[in-house]
Amino acid sequence: MKAVFLDYATLGPGLDTSPLRDLIPDFEFFDATNEEQVAGRIGDAEFVIANKVRVHDELMEQARNLRFIGLTATGTDNIDLDSARRRGIAVSNIRGYCTRSVVEHVFGVLLMLTHNLHRYTAAVRAGAWQESRVFCLHDYPVRELSSMTIGIVGYGDLGRAVARRAHDFGMNVLISSRPGSVTVPEGRVSFDDLLEQSEVISLHCPLSSETENLFGEPEFQRMQADSILVNTARGALIDSAALVAALESGQIGAAAIDVLSNEPPVDGDPLLKYADNNLVLTPHIAWSTDRARQDAVNELAANIAAFLNNEKRNRVV
């Protein structure tokens, strides 16, 4: 058996790959694979592992030995699933490997923004505390999460985990119904009501034709002036230019953005040029604690082991 990992560098350094090598000793790891290299690298492989590399119908046609495609992510949009299904190629993804990491990131950036930690750190470094006439500074407001309402858009594993942690902080939790839906299931609120009632909105929904640019100028106008938007899901859920305008004008209070429409953003993005303190912009790291990255490897190995034992685990095809 031969296996190839097409974009191993996406998982980052310092991981133990022995769970994979123990299953398939002939396991070749490529840090990155461009579009022109894919066919040559998967040509005689039975197992192909990828995170973001696209594997389309023509490539599967050429890879006559291909039996299994393993994704090191939950999303499957880079794989032609219909083609895999027609050709009898198994496809699996990994799930739940980064839930703790994402939840901690969401509340880390929320605490940073609500407690103005970055602004107070800058003030101390600028000498403001040293010159204070009292023992502390009150230059910026400090808000308690327990007094706030959080709205969650996307109620899968990640959305549910964020909701549980929000309850631990004493927050009021609202769960959005499917955007655009005419019905509101019991226990949820309409998307419009969530926009108006939430002081924090956290995004955990997939990207689709219905959710692309889900947050644009009309949505920001409906949000509260001191509200905080957190996106650890997909960059294209938000119109970046509209978000910059909302932050500049005070339509919303702040945003914490971990994802952009194009990654890496080699062609730029309006958010990259915005420099005020009410934006926290991070390079798609919410998922990537050391433990989560190793869990991704371990989950992938478990999926391959299940396939070798004629069992279905995390199979999407």
Q: In one letter, which amino acid is 5? A: F
Show Cβ contacts of residue 43 under 8 Å, excluding neighbours closer than 6 positions: 62, 63
- CA dist list (Å): 71 to 57, 159, 223, 250: 17, 21, 36, 41
- Concerning whether 263 is annotated as a catalytic residue, the answer is yes
- Concerning whether 234 is annotated as a catalytic residue, the answer is yes
Count how many Cα atoms sit within 13 Å of the Cα of residue 46 in the half-sphere of its side chain.
Answer: 10
For 309, counting Cβ atoms within 10 Å of its Cβ (0-12 exposed, 13-18 middle, 19+ buried), the class is: exposed
Candidates 222, 284, 313, 315; catalytic one: 284
Candidates 105, 188, 234, 293; catalytic one: 234
Q: φ, ψ for residue 157 (rounded to 5)? A: -60, -45
The full DSSP string for 16-45 is --HHHHHH-SSEEE-S---TTTHHHHHTT-
Candidates 35, 210, 263, 311; catalytic one: 263
| 3-class secondary-structure state, position 215 | strand
Q: Hey, what's the torsion of the CAs at 196, 198, 202, 204, to 10 degrees?
A: -60
- CA dist list (Å): 21 to 75, 235, 268, 304, 311: 24, 34, 39, 11, 20
Alpha-carbon torsion (79, 262, 297, 14), positive or negative: positive
Contact assessment for residue 274 and residue 247, using Cβ atoms and an 8 Å cutoff: yes
Phi-psi map region of 250: left, alpha, beta (phi>0 left; psi -120 to 50 alpha): left
- The residues assigned a catalytic role are 234, 263, 284
